[in-house]
């Protein structure tokens, strides 16, 4: 019998969430017992004390897709753990991109490396000059500005536009144009967008690409969440556009988020442009040795043989979005989140400003014993927000919202 998750009462917000008498968690791919999750070595389950329910970092409470598990187990069993060889990964990824997105990938221009952010760092180091301005759109994944600064470049924020009436975020084309016109020649695009969950449309991306063309901007597209797009929305790879900036763009992909294999270390960098490929060819050879043999095998099995599992995951995430939207409306109405704007990823960007708290992240953690990501990780202006990871069982979601309600009661 699985260990259940039991919400703490408002009077005992630090009660442990495991007991031994309730039924197994439901939720298909998310039916991993809480007691098993608690034994995981990953940062999601190790960062906080055992009485804190963790819905923060972008890992999922799933077991591996069967083909990935079989591939990895076989390799470990047979001791096939030497230096990595790209093997069939370029072909498997190119087939996936063609099948799923209609995107043509030149496997001769696919570079394999340890992870997405290392790719961004090296592209900035070799493709730009010290002090160059790199445009980002906050709220955005926290390591974006950190990596720009690590590379010795300047962070230029062109914030997303937020429609206060609908709660929807959009690319602010005026802000982007101002940033490009001011001479900032690189745009670090998050497509789809973490944390707001928008899946940028072809029209939105084309309008932005036109601006990038006009000002000669190099686009670095982080498309790690590309497989995690929810129907009826469809993913538009930036490099699939007609624009010159799309042809020149460098794009980064990985199976890490959609198949939960981030710890195995493997990502893919590609471009349609010989000139941009010239930047990649300058990378120090160690960068090309940074992925692991298990990461390459996992990415190959994910893109090549685990699309059905991905579709099952997307179905379970759709259920979770409905559930989370309802729970928040009923139990914590001061929190604003529109499930219909959550078009991609498994990350919910919760607007907690209506609760009137100084620090919602700290309140939920300290009083509710539930851990999210603080909004300030995505930009200084977002202290009134938290990011919730809903790639977990319905039981954990119910408990998390119960803890939020208890924290603000």
Interacting residues with ligand PLP (CB under 6 A): 58, 115-117, 141, 190, 194, 222, 224, 254, 256-257, 262, 267
Nearest approach in angstroms of CB 399 to ligand PLP is: 23
For the chain, what is the radius of gyration of the CA atoms? 21
Nearest approach in angstroms of CB 139 to ligand PLP is: 12
Is residue 139 reached through a cis peptide bond, with omega within 30 degrees of 0 on the bond before it?
Answer: yes
Compare residues 136 and 301 and give the one whose CB is closer to ligand PLP: 136
- The Cα-based distances of 61 to 5, 43, 103, 247, 402 in angstroms read 13, 12, 30, 37, 19
Cβ burial, residue 291 (10 Å; 0-12/13-18/19+): buried
Compare residues 256 and 260 and give the one whose CB is closer to ligand PLP: 256
As given in the structure block, the two tokens for residue 176 are 């982007």
Cβ burial, residue 274 (10 Å; 0-12/13-18/19+): exposed
Compare residues 132 and 222 and give the one whose CB is closer to ligand PLP: 222
Nearest approach in angstroms of CB 170 to ligand PLP is: 18
What is the rounded distance in angstroms from the CA atom of residue 163 to the CA atom of residue 357? 22
As given in the structure block, the two tokens for residue 236 are 């538009």
As given in the structure block, the two tokens for residue 187 are 């745009």
Nearest approach in angstroms of CB 7 to ligand PLP is: 27
Count helices and strands (H / E) in the chain. Answer: 14, 14
CA neighbours within 13 Å on the CB side: how many for 285? 0
What is the residue whose two structure tokens read 């069993």? Answer: 77
Beta bridge partners of 110: 270
What is the residue whose two structure tokens read 């093997």? Answer: 87
Compare residues 119 and 383 and give the one whose CB is closer to ligand PLP: 119
Nearest approach in angstroms of CB 54 to ligand PLP is: 15
3-state secondary structure (DSSP) of residue 84:
coil
Nearest approach in angstroms of CB 298 to ligand PLP is: 13
Compare residues 2 and 190 and give the one whose CB is closer to ligand PLP: 190
Compare residues 115 and 132 and give the one whose CB is closer to ligand PLP: 115
Compare residues 115 and 399 and give the one whose CB is closer to ligand PLP: 115
Nearest approach in angstroms of CB 167 to ligand PLP is: 21
Compare residues 18 and 194 and give the one whose CB is closer to ligand PLP: 194
Is residue 47 reached through a cis peptide bond, with omega within 30 degrees of 0 on the bond before it?
Answer: no
Nearest approach in angstroms of CB 314 to ligand PLP is: 17
């Amino acid at each position: 019998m699985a260990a259940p998750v039991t919400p703490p009462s408002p009077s005992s917000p630090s009660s442990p969430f495991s007991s031994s008498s309730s039924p197994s968690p439901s939720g298909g791919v998310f039916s991993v017992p809480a007691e098993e999750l608690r034994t995981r070595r990953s940062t999601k389950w190790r960062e906080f004390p055992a009485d804190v329910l963790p819905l923060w970092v972008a890992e999922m409470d799933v077991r591996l897709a069967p083909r990935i598990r079989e591939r990895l187990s076989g390799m470990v069993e047979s001791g096939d753990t030497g230096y990595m060889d790209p093997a069939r990964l370029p072909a498997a990824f190119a087939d996936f991109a063609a099948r799923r997105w209609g995107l043509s990938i030149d496997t001769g221009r696919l570079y394999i490396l340890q992870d997405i952010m290392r790719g961004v760092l090296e592209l900035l180091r070799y493709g730009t000059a010290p002090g160059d301005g790199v445009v980002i759109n906050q709220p955005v994944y926290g390591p974006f500005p950190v990596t720009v600064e690590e590379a010795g470049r300047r962070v230029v924020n062109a914030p997303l536009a937020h429609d206060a009436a609908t709660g929807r975020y959009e690319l602010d084309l005026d802000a982007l144009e101002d940033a490009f016109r001011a001479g900032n020649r690189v745009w670090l695009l998050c497509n789809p967008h973490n944390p707001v969950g928008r899946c940028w449309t072809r029209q939105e991306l084309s309008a932005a690409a036109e601006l990038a063309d006009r000002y000669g901007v190099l686009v670095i597209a982080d498309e790690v969440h590309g497989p995690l797009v929810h129907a009826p929305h469809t993913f538009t790879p930036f490099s699939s556009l007609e624009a010159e900036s799309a042809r020149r763009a460098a794009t980064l992909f990985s199976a890490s988020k959609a198949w939960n294999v981030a710890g195995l270390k493997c990502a893919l960098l590609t471009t349609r442009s010989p000139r941009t490929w010239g930047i990649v060819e300058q990378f120090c050879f160690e960068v090309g040795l940074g992925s692991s043999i298990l990461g390459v095998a996992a990415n190959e099995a994910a893109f090549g043989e685990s699309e059905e599992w991905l579709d099952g995951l997307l179905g379970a995430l759709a259920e979770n979005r409905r559930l989370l939207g309802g729970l928040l409306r009923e139990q914590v109405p001061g929190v604003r989140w529109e499930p219909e704007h959550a078009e991609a990823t498994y990350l919910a960007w919760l607007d907690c400003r209506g609760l009137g708290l100084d620090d919602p992240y700290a309140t939920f953690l300290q009083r509710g014993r539930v851990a999210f990501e603080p909004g300030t990780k995505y930009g200084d202006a977002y202290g009134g927000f938290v990011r919730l990871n809903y790639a977990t069982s319905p039981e954990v979601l119910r408990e998390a919202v119960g803890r939020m309600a208890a924290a603000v009661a």
